[in-house]
Amino acid sequence: MSEYQEFLKTKLAAKQFDGIRIDKSEINQKLFGFQRDLVYWSLLKGRAAIFANTGLGKTFMQVEWARLTGQRALIVAPLSVAAQTIKEARKIGVEVHYTRSGENVVDGLNITNYEMIDKFDASAFGAVVLDESSILKSLDGKTRQKLIDMFGQVRYRLCCTATPAPNDIAEIANHAEFLGVMTRANMLAMFFVHDDDGYRLKGHAQEAFFRWLASWGMSVMKPSDLGYDDDGYDLPGLSIDAIYTRSNYRPEGQLFFTGLDGIQGRSEVRKSTIPEKLAALVEIVNADTDQWIVWCGLNDEQDEVSKVIPGCVSIYGHHSPEEKIDMIDEFLSGKARVLVTKPKIAGFGMNFQNAHKMAFMGLSDSFEAYYQCVRRCYRFGQQYPVTVKIVISEIEQEIYQNVLRKEKEANEMSKKLIENVQQYEKEELAGGKSGEWAYRTDTAQGKDWTMMLGDSCERMLEIDDDAIDFSVYSPPFMSLYTYSPSERDLGNTANEHDFFTQYKFIMAQLLRITKPGRITAVHVAQVPAMQVRDGYIGLKDFRGKTIVAYEEAGWIYHGEVVIDKDPQAQAIRTKSKGLLFTQMHKDSSWSRPALADFILLFRKPGKNQVPITPDINNNEWIEWARPIWYGIKESDTLQYTTARDDKDERHICPLQLGTIERCVRLWSNPGEVVFSPFGGIGSEGHTALKFGRKFIGIELKEGYWKIAVRNLERATSEKVLPLFAMMDNG
């Protein structure tokens, strides 16, 4: 089964790339130990993300990574960060060339700004770095997609930004797409489920998701997250005070202010309350001789602040890159006491530890902008406690409270992310070790039955050739992380190709253990196609593809039965708009019939040695020989709720006992062995025993296996005597 084991390794969500292996001694020794580890790991990956807290030295790491690729490299950075990157690189002896077009690039390290990428030919570079790559989230969709497409063929790619929250789907998806790890649609389909509260991680997908994330992105809040000492990385104190100013603002046409109303309403309030806020801000900033940063959101705010604060440099969007760099240098050198600008100009990536005081002239609802601005000063390497003053009018209090709420959520999510990925990251740094879901085997036996715990593909090896008279089962329908996180779970496959590749291993083993000329009955249903996963809404022909796969595995397609379904019951259960009355009346082009179940029959080649003489009468035969089976009650199943655990995304759907009964009685003799490779909670075994057959089943999930054992024990005492036996006893 070595081929099967190799296939399972490919199913691990952890992504392995063809990177660069170097000797660790080649990494600049000026970098700290954890920084060298991250550089070494990201080189091994070739395409990776370093999600590191502000002040942990992302500039050193990305520059050293680019140097060690040995390629002509391009670093793409926010406008105000390029000059600072060049200076930081010189501290570790690396020269980085600033370029505004592709006409003067050098063989080595080049840096440009996001605004300039249209002027570059990506094929001229063997490596690319996105500095402050969280900017992908704030770019418009067209520009973001252009970056993804433009650098999609560059072999070595690195993203560097602060730690994302695990539920920040946009940020994680943007990075995964840029690095070529996975598309947003596939990520959502694999790890997330959409409910009334939006997207959330599937219960059983959590371990796989965090392992996947750690396989291409390192999330670090402090060196100890990777097992290093935090000495020198203790942040000083942070004091944040909101200064509320009174306001007599009243919207035009209203007798009094009734509350903030959308973006336009917020903007009007912010602009109308400038005078009151200006007076309070000036008093604070001019009260000492320390360096300050004043963050503004409107040009009107910035204009007024710049007039009344002596010794300030005020950077606007219309300034040229050279002018911006010169003014930032004035502030960094201490020639300018106060820097006045906007978050989108200097709020990302800059190191302003020269100052430890800042003030916000008003505030937006963007936590990202607020967080990044504070972190320009409050970052590792800051020597003094940082003071932050937020000057805001009383009627804008809800904006500040909204930002505080987002901050609390972000901190909790970042902590959760680190806790979840920490062990996987250490495994990655130790050599890319990738474990799997705890796999356990066991076997329970009773009179006429055996129930195995484990992977059916492997445990079928314990069954002799030509030992099974009949098999009946329902396979997982490509439903990711619905019932377990295991790579061994057939449902946990990212695409149809992988699903049927694994399924064929099972089909092959099933063919081996089945007697010649005998039948396997496979319960299937068509699989809905979803917009988020497949790009369209419709149906996938799961039935047809299963038939093709069985034929390719050596089976003979023998026949099929359609099982009638109640459309109203299905509409209630699945909430499919194609079955709703409202959709029929609105636009019936989306309406469709309910999805039937199918029993597909396959026969093993060869001559059947023991004729099957089913214990059914002629009336039953007339009813069961129809191409459609009616009268199967959907509720006619074994009790299953106790088998469900908290992480299951939905209840297990046992095969109806009436369906199993017809299959067992039609295609096996009393006393023969019935088998199920997906034993679930024992429905097939329960029915087989009840009608005088023997049973062997295999189930991967221990919770279901335990319930199956109990159901089989109970079924032993509920056997129905075969018709001929009852006649003999009469």
Over residues 636-680, the pLDDT tens digits come to 888 654 444 545 444 455 789 999 999 999 999 999 999 999 999
128 C-beta neighbours (distance < 10 Å), count: 26
Q: What is the pLDDT of residue 727?
A: 37
The pLDDT of residue 435 is above 50: no
The pLDDT of residue 730 is above 60: no
CA pair distance 553, 511, nearest whole angstrom: 8
CA pair distance 175, 109, nearest whole angstrom: 22
Q: Domains, the chain, ranges and CATH?
A: 2-226 (3.40.50.10810), 238-410 (3.40.50.300), 449-729 (3.40.50.150)
Tokens of 711: 């159901």
Lowest mean pLDDT among 182-186, 255-259, 499-503, 598-602: 255-259
The pLDDT of residue 166 is above 70: no
19 C-beta neighbours (distance < 10 Å), count: 18
Long-range contacts of 16-20 (CB under 8 A, 24+ apart): 16/45, 16/215, 16/432, 17/45, 17/46, 17/47, 17/48, 17/216, 18/46, 19/43, 19/44, 19/45, 19/46, 19/47, 19/48, 19/156, 20/44, 20/46, 20/68, 20/69, 20/70, 20/156
User: In terms of pLDDT, which residue wins out, 581 or 278?
Assistant: 278
Q: What is the pLDDT of residue 60?
A: 96
User: In terms of pLDDT, which residue wins out, 397 or 142?
Assistant: 397
* pLDDT tens per residue, range 604-638: 999 999 999 988 899 999 899 999 999 898 888 88
Question: Percent of the chain beyond pLDDT 90?
Answer: 52
Backbone angles phi, psi at 391, to 5 degrees: -95, 115
pLDDT bracket for residue 409 (50, 70, 90): confident
Task: Report, as an integer, the average pLDDT of 188-202.
Answer: 73
Tokens of 39: 């550089």
User: Residue 360: which of 289, 277, 286 has the closest Cα?
Assistant: 277
Averaged pLDDT score across all residues of the chain: 86
The pLDDT of residue 725 is above 50: no
* pLDDT tens per residue, range 229-251: 988 788 899 999 999 998 876 66
* pLDDT tens per residue, range 545-601: 999 999 999 999 999 999 988 776 666 565 666 667 777 777 777 777 778 899 999
pTM (global) more than 0.75: no
Question: Percent of the chain beyond pLDDT 70?
Answer: 87
| Torsion, CA 545, CA 547, CA 552, CA 557, rounded to 10 | -170
The pLDDT of residue 687 is above 50: yes
Residues making up the chain, counted from first to last: 730
Contacts of 169 (CB under 8 A, 6+ apart): 184, 187, 188, 192, 199
Contacts of 233 (CB under 8 A, 6+ apart): 55, 56, 222, 223, 380
Q: Does residue 359 sit in helix, strand or coil?
A: strand
Please report the beta strands in 276-395, taking only residues with DSSP state E, as ranges in sequence order.
292-296, 312-314, 338-341, 357-361, 386-393
* pLDDT tens per residue, range 69-78: 999 999 999 8
CA pair distance 645, 642, nearest whole angstrom: 8
